[in-house]
């Protein structure tokens, strides 16, 4: 039995270090839903872009706004804490997501964008 577990391929192993990425994506998507009501149409119209496509998202997100605010804040804070903890770990397993600097940079950018969208969704009601 131990030979079978030792011979598992890289595709069969679970992905390590994906927590911050997944929490950032969840926080970013909920923050986008919150901001689609008021802040994003205003900002996109200021840039001269059409905002009609945001109407459907805003209709779905508006009744659940308090829950989306809480979920977005929890996901973004948890993602930031996990990303910070990965930074302090000195040894990262080879092939793990935390070993790729581009992924860490994209995760940090997603966290910042999510924070901005969360603030805009909260401020522009």
Binning pLDDT at 50, 70 and 90, where does residue 73 land?
A: very high
How would you label 87-100 residue by residue, b for 16+ Cβ within 10 Å and e otherwise?
eeeeeeeeeebbee
- Mean pLDDT rounded to a whole number for the chain: 80
Domain count of the fold of the chain: 1
- Residues 97 and 16 sit within 8 Å (Cβ to Cβ): yes
Does any domain span residue 7? no
Q: Which residues contact 92 (CB under 8 A, 6 or more apart)?
A: 17, 86, 98, 99
Does any domain span residue 78? yes
Cβ neighbours of 39 (radius 10 Å): 19
Does any domain span residue 107? yes
Report whether pLDDT(78) > 90. yes
- Residues 79 and 23 sit within 8 Å (Cβ to Cβ): yes
Does any domain span residue 87? yes
Does any domain span residue 44? yes
Does any domain span residue 8? no
pLDDT at 69: 92
Does any domain span residue 11? no
Domain housing 64: 27-123
């Amino acid at each position: 039995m131990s030979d079978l577990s030792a011979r598992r391929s890289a595709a069969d192993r679970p992905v390590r270090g994906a927590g911050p990425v997944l929490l950032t994506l969840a926080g970013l998507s909920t923050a986008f839903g919150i901001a689609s009501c008021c802040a994003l149409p205003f900002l996109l119209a200021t840039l001269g872009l059409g905002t009609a496509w945001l109407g459907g998202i805003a209709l779905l997100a508006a009744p659940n706004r308090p829950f989306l605010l809480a979920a977005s804040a929890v996901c973004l804070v948890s993602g930031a804490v996990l990303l910070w903890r990965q930074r302090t770990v000195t040894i990262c397993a080879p092939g793990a997501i935390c070993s790729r600097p581009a992924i860490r940079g994209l995760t940090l950018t997603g966290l910042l964008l999510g924070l901005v969208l969360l603030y805009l969704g909260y401020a522009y009601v």
